[in-house]
Amino acid sequence: MSDYSEIKENTKSRMEKSLDSLKAELGGLRAGRAHASLLDTISVDAYGSPSPIAQVATVSVPDARTLSVNVWDKGLVKSVEKAIMESDLGLNPMSDGQLIRIQIPPLSEERRKELVKVAGKCAEQAKVAIRNIRRDALDSIKKLKKDNLISEDEEKRYENEIQKFTDENIKKVDDVLSQKEKDIMQV
């Protein structure tokens, strides 16, 4: 990286991507209501390679407690069913030709607590990713200083700025996690 503005933009962009990734991952955790994004994280073994469920079927929500998966290729119905059963979502699909219906059972207190733990692990992974991004940025800043492209004062100021971005994004991760925990624990 040639200068600090590039480092700063790259760091911001990568941290935002980590946060978006966390939101997508938490979107796959169910909170007692059916929603189409619930199955987004599931990969299906289709034609010898893993594919997202959205590439082999249409997922719809006929009512608040039911998901409907319309598989396009009749040969993949068993693979889709297997992938849904093996996911950690605790769902039991029922096949009806090319249509798979999934009743969303109400969450037990124990299952809610398990899902909160899973959400916590996802959030911790996002925090680790953000800290790794910070480390990369700080290494780049140290290299600029070593190459005499910036002064010591600039180095400290840049490091403080990167730490500020990191703290802001860690707080955003905590906010996203607490919102998801509320959704999961809501009966």
In whole angstroms, what is the distance from residue 153 CA to residue 14 CA?
A: 25
In the structure, what pLDDT confidence band is assigned to residue 148 with cuts at 50, 70 and 90?
A: confident
Give me the pLDDT at residue 138, please: 93
In whole angstroms, what is the distance from residue 51 CA to residue 64 CA?
A: 26
Q: Which two tokens stand for residue 67?
A: 């998901």
Give me the pLDDT at residue 105, please: 75
Could you state, in order of their start, the residue ranges of all structural domains in the chain?
4-27+108-185, 36-103
Q: Which two tokens stand for residue 130?
A: 């953000």
The model's pTM: 0.69
The yes-or-no verdict on residue 160 having pLDDT over 60 is: yes
- How wide is the angle at C-alpha 54 spanned by C-alphas 79 and 95, nearest 5°? 40
Q: Is it true that 4-27+108-185 and 36-103 share their CATH fold?
A: no
Least confident of 20-24, 66-70, 86-90, 136-140: 86-90
> Does the domain at residues 4-27+108-185 carry the CATH identifier 1.10.132.20?
yes
The yes-or-no verdict on residue 184 having pLDDT over 50 is: yes
- Provide CATH code, domain 36-103: 3.30.1360.40
Least confident of 61-65, 76-80, 115-119: 61-65
The yes-or-no verdict on residue 4 having pLDDT over 60 is: yes
Range with top average pLDDT, 18-27, 42-51, 127-136: 127-136
The yes-or-no verdict on residue 1 having pLDDT over 60 is: no
- 59 forms beta bridges with 69
